[in-house]
Amino acid sequence: MPLPADDAVRAVVAQVGRAGTYRLLFSVLASHQGHDVPAALEHPSLADRDLPPLLAHLAESVPPGETDPTADLLGLGDLHQRLLADEERRSAGAWFTPWPLVEHLLDLSMPAGDDVTTVLDPACGAGVFLAAATRRLVARAGPAADVVDLVVRHVHGVDLDADAVELARVVLWLELLPWLDPAGPLPGLALRVGDTLGDAAPDHAAYDVVVGNPPFLNQLERATAQERVAAERVRREDPGLYGAYTDLSAVFLARAATWVRPGGRVALVQPVSLLAARDAGAVRARLAETCVVEGLWTSDGRAFDASVETCAPVLRRRMGAEAQGTVDRSGGVPPVPSPAVPAGDLGGSWGHLLAAGLGVPALVWRTDGALGDLATCTADFRDQYYGLAGAVEEGAGPGRAPLVTSGLVEPARCDWGERPTRFLKQAWQAPAVVLDRLPAELAAWAAARLVPKVLVGTQGRVVEAVADPEGRWLPSVPVISVVPERDRLWHVLAVLLAPPVSVHAATAYAGAAMSPTAIKLSARQVAAIPLPVRVEQWDEAASLLSDGQEAGLVEAARLMCTAYDVPPGPVLDWWLGRALRSPRGRPRSARPAPGRAHGR
């Protein structure tokens, strides 16, 4: 049955609020299916109201169509999201979960044959996960079961949004329509309005399955005042587990692993950054200790209206000393299975679980030492970014330093002045910092950066680095500056452009960037990049790059595979397919561009 048009629903919402409107919609939908449920209209927002005209208004606006319980369920959830203002939805981190993904996560967390009884959605919203779980529990219970009692006792949900919880009740009552007593009260359900991480915290080890799509509210340090209070509370309860940039969804995941019994499963949608972000590292380590990672779904694109790539690890709480097996993979909406991958070391990054499905080749290499042994790696901060306002103008000239943004850094090439970029929300063709306009503190910063160095961009398909041997360029946040020891500039560049290094970064840190296929490194991670063992080939690659960065790029890359004792085949081919590509998608020229620092 199609739902009433939005304008009809909004007109009723204006009179009785969202919760009252959801009760009226339940009455209309139940009546359409041949059920009269008078108790549906027993709600505070409907008291002393002239209900027949409101019911008629909703019913009359419903276009003709066949009853489809799944369509009604999805329509109600989508309706609630549309009734939320955009800002209200973003601040709550509320995004509707596609039905194929709901079913897939329940297939993984409630597999056929498992004795699953009690299910929790800790951020239940409109109740889509709970309704789908209810259908499975009812189907497994058999014809003699007391279905209403089963759902009342074993389907649990919590949410901060009281209106969403009211809609979740309506959704579950619609699932129970065939078993409801029309003359009796509507059954009370185990749905609560509250903070799952605070006043409405579930009991430990009380559930067989925890499933859902918790809010993506970005980092804890950016939360509202009320949310910061909650953040401080969870930090006190789990000291050292959450950092300033930990996403709230990762807190839900860590807690969920304590809410299931040994052998119970957790499947919660997460931003893909969970797999590699530094401030989720302690969460991953804790989960690796307490759970077996059975599967991983990844969005393979943005599955929600939210502008973020997503994933959903499927965890099973360990029963004794269980060994970690391979990890099943799936991706997309509707989800499509991928080959299982070895679990590897799950105490650190889980990026390799993502990389395995992205065509990143396997890497076996030999290394000795780290880049931080011969260079200082530094990332600048917002003070340097915003402090340059008023000191940036177009074009080069005396007393000016070209400002190089991350998007201008390509492997062995800087595109400053050749294509536009953005800085401080403004488009620039050739942004330059007028040095004598800088205050003393920023002048000291600029002097420290205007030295021979290698600049490393972020969000690239490979590690993107270019040498600045004359020390002419100023990096714009988040470009990383790598200042080498004397006479080691070109050796540093050779390491950063080495195909095995990009494979390593794409594997270890998959999911940390805005796109799963991009590479994002911190200054600390750049410093930790391993050095090669074969010095002769490393020296030769450095010499080639010093004679002409872009001209020597391909041969240097080949030499650096040998320097790391890596057969050049799949690793080099993968790197070439990503590195030799212009920003506009055309093959790159190997000719150094005029005016670039490209020699000794």
In this prediction, residue 96 has a pLDDT band, given cuts at 50, 70 and 90, of: confident
In this prediction, residue 493 has a pLDDT band, given cuts at 50, 70 and 90, of: very high
Q: What pLDDT, on the 0 to 100 scale, is given for residue 594?
A: 31
CA-based nearest residue to 304, from 127, 85, 87, 78: 78
Q: DSSP secondary-structure letter at 460?
A: B
- Whether the per-residue pLDDT at 590 is higher than 50: the answer is no
Same domain, 549 and 405: yes
Establish if 151 belongs to a structural domain. no
Same domain, 352 and 371: no
**DSSP per residue, 536-584:** HHHHHHHHHHHH-TTTTHHHHHHHHHHHTT--HHHHHHHHHHHHS--TT
The single-letter code of the amino acid at 277 is: A
Mean pLDDT, to the nearest integer, of 82-107?
72
Q: Is the preceding peptide bond at 568 cis, omega within 30 degrees of 0?
A: no
Same domain, 351 and 371: no
Mean pLDDT, to the nearest integer, of 410-434?
96
Mean pLDDT, to the nearest integer, of 205-217?
92
Number of domain units in the chain: 2
The per-residue pLDDT of the chain, averaged, comes to 88
**201 neighbors 258 (Cβ within 8 angstroms):** no
Distance CA 268, CA 291 (A): 14
Q: What pLDDT, on the 0 to 100 scale, is given for residue 479?
A: 97
Establish if 465 belongs to a structural domain. yes
- Whether the per-residue pLDDT at 336 is higher than 50: the answer is yes
CA-based nearest residue to 257, from 304, 231, 290: 290
pLDDT, tens only, 245-303? 788 899 999 999 999 999 999 999 999 989 988 889 999 999 999 999 999 999 876 65
Mean pLDDT, to the nearest integer, of 548-563?
97
Q: Which residues of 190-246 form beta strands (DSSP E)?
A: 190-193, 207-212
**What's the whole-model pTM score?**
0.80
Q: What pLDDT, on the 0 to 100 scale, is given for residue 226?
A: 54
Same domain, 461 and 442: yes
Same domain, 342 and 440: no
- Whether the per-residue pLDDT at 154 is higher than 80: the answer is yes
**Whose structure tokens read 């004679």?**
547
Same domain, 347 and 456: no
Same domain, 384 and 494: yes
- Whether the per-residue pLDDT at 215 is higher than 90: the answer is no
Same domain, 327 and 421: no
What does DSSP say about strands 453-456 and 260-268: parallel, antiparallel, or unpaired? unpaired
Q: What pLDDT, on the 0 to 100 scale, is given for residue 2?
A: 62
Mean pLDDT, to the nearest integer, of 163-185?
94
- Whether the per-residue pLDDT at 597 is higher than 70: the answer is no
Strand order in the sheet with 375-379: 375-379, 480-484, 453-456, 465-468
Residue 37 token pair: 């449920």
Same domain, 353 and 371: no
Establish if 371 belongs to a structural domain. yes
Distance CA 218, CA 247 (A): 5
Residue 281 sits in which domain range? 213-357
Q: What pLDDT, on the 0 to 100 scale, is given for residue 303?
A: 57
Q: What share of the chain is helix, strand, coil (3-state, %, to 5)?
A: 40, 20, 40
Q: What pLDDT, on the 0 to 100 scale, is given for residue 593?
A: 35
Establish if 299 belongs to a structural domain. yes
Strand partners, 121: 157
* Total residue length of the chain: 600
pLDDT, tens only, 181-190? 998 999 999 9
Q: What pLDDT, on the 0 to 100 scale, is given for residue 242?
A: 84
Looking at per-residue pLDDT, the higher value among 84 and 101 belongs to 101
Q: What is the CATH number of the domain that holds 573?
A: 3.90.220.10
Establish if 158 belongs to a structural domain. no
Residue 71 token pair: 């369509």
**558 neighbors 518 (Cβ within 8 angstroms):** no
Same domain, 310 and 372: no
Same domain, 338 and 300: yes
Distance CA 580, CA 551 (A): 12
Domain end among 357, 392, 407: 357
- Identify the three-state secondary structure at position 29: helix
Establish if 221 belongs to a structural domain. yes
Domain end among 317, 334, 357: 357
**562 neighbors 494 (Cβ within 8 angstroms):** no
Domain end among 298, 322, 357: 357
Q: What pLDDT, on the 0 to 100 scale, is given for residue 206?
A: 96
Cβ partners under 8 Å of residue 315, min gap 6: 257, 265, 266, 267, 287, 291, 292, 293, 294
- Whether the per-residue pLDDT at 370 is higher than 60: the answer is yes
Cβ partners under 8 Å of residue 22, min gap 6: 76, 163, 166, 167, 170
Establish if 136 belongs to a structural domain. no
Backbone angles phi and psi of 86, in degrees to 5: -55, -45
Mean pLDDT, to the nearest integer, of 204-218?
89
Q: What is the CATH number of the domain that holds 250?
A: 3.40.50.150
Neighbours of 587 (CB within 10 A): 8
- Whether the per-residue pLDDT at 64 is higher than 80: the answer is no
- Whether the per-residue pLDDT at 568 is higher than 80: the answer is yes
- Whether the per-residue pLDDT at 85 is higher than 80: the answer is no
In this prediction, residue 144 has a pLDDT band, given cuts at 50, 70 and 90, of: confident
Same domain, 377 and 293: no
Establish if 454 belongs to a structural domain. yes
Q: Is the preceding peptide bond at 431 cis, omega within 30 degrees of 0?
A: no
One-letter-per-residue 3-state SS of 516-537: CCCECCCHHHHHCCEEECCHHH
**131 neighbors 171 (Cβ within 8 angstroms):** yes
